Amino acid sequence: MSVQHRNNVNVLGDGPATLVFSHGFGCDQTMWCYLVDHFTNRFRVVLYDLVGAGQSDLTTYDSEKYGSLDGYAQDLAEVINEFASGPVIVVGHSVSAMIGVLADRAHSDRIAAHVMIGPSPCYVDSGDYVGGFKLEDIHSLLDTLDSNYLGWSSTMAPVIMGAPGQPALGEKLTNSFCRTDPEIAKQFARVTFMSDNRDDVVGLETPTLILQSTDDIIAPVAVGEYLHQILPNSTLCLVSNVGHCPHMSVPSACSEAMDSFLSLWTEGGDGR
């Protein structure tokens, strides 16, 4: 089975460096449609679907392999090896930010930088760490998903999207959630919300841009501040936005922040 077919890989644009866009839970590569055109005249752009999402090959889904984020990180590394050229910058939304970190840890010579949009290394409050959810809240969320995935999706997708005044975006995210195979989505949700990647991000030296919405029900500002504190080569940019998908609801604000960060690579350097 080819990587291209497994992950529905699409390559756009051209440039001295490659942007690999990796989507979040319940999404697929089409969620980047508001952002990618801004970069295709300066970068090679690689889009792909996580296995179980979008137009990926569902027959390649293995519950054991994808029982942790490591399986998705392995796939990302394979996508990079086959389709990227030059310095590679992983643009990861939500859980894919941590998938990018794991791929970086396993292949430290291949990823030159990260752009993390709404990242969270751990969603559960623990001691002084603020993840945004209590453990019982996560268990309740997962129980609801298990009993009524489509109902949960229809209710929660617009809330996750936020974006007051742009109801079409909430509808787009709802449709994406509902297209995802429910059984795969349930396991991916459990893997996502129960993961704790704080040890993986500590001291990661790869240059990182953290894009955090000012009002995000999934990843509060405190999480972005935490990541900025422990990532030695990070830049934190708070994007004025309500919701977890600023790349959709305020794409120009995201692209502006990314342009400044990515200028090191568009000028032909390695960014370091």
- In the chain, where the domains are located: 3-266
Give the other-Cβ count within 10 Å of 44's Cβ.
21
pLDDT digits (tens, 9 = 90+) for 156-186: 888 899 888 898 998 999 889 888 888 999 9
244 is annotated as an active-site residue: yes
Catalytic residue among 56, 94, 195, 213: 94
96 is annotated as an active-site residue: no
Query: In this predicted structure, what is the pLDDT of residue 271?
Result: 47
Mean pLDDT by 10 residues, the chain (272 residues): 94 96 95 96 97 95 96 98 96 98 92 97 96 94 90 88 88 88 93 96 96 96 97 96 95 95 72 45
Query: In this predicted structure, what is the pLDDT of residue 259?
Result: 95
Query: In this predicted structure, what is the pLDDT of residue 185?
Result: 92
Pairing relation of β-strands 113-117 and 208-215? parallel
Catalytic residue among 28, 49, 104, 216: 216
CA 244 to CA 242: how far, in whole Å?
Answer: 7
In which residue are the tokens 């617009």 written? 158
CA 31 to CA 220: how far, in whole Å?
Answer: 21
Q: Which fold has domain 3-266?
A: Rossmann fold (3.40.50)
Query: In this predicted structure, what is the pLDDT of residue 167?
Result: 87
147 is annotated as an active-site residue: no
Catalytic residue among 93, 114, 244, 247: 244
Q: What is the pTM of this model?
A: 0.95
Query: In this predicted structure, what is the pLDDT of residue 272?
Result: 43
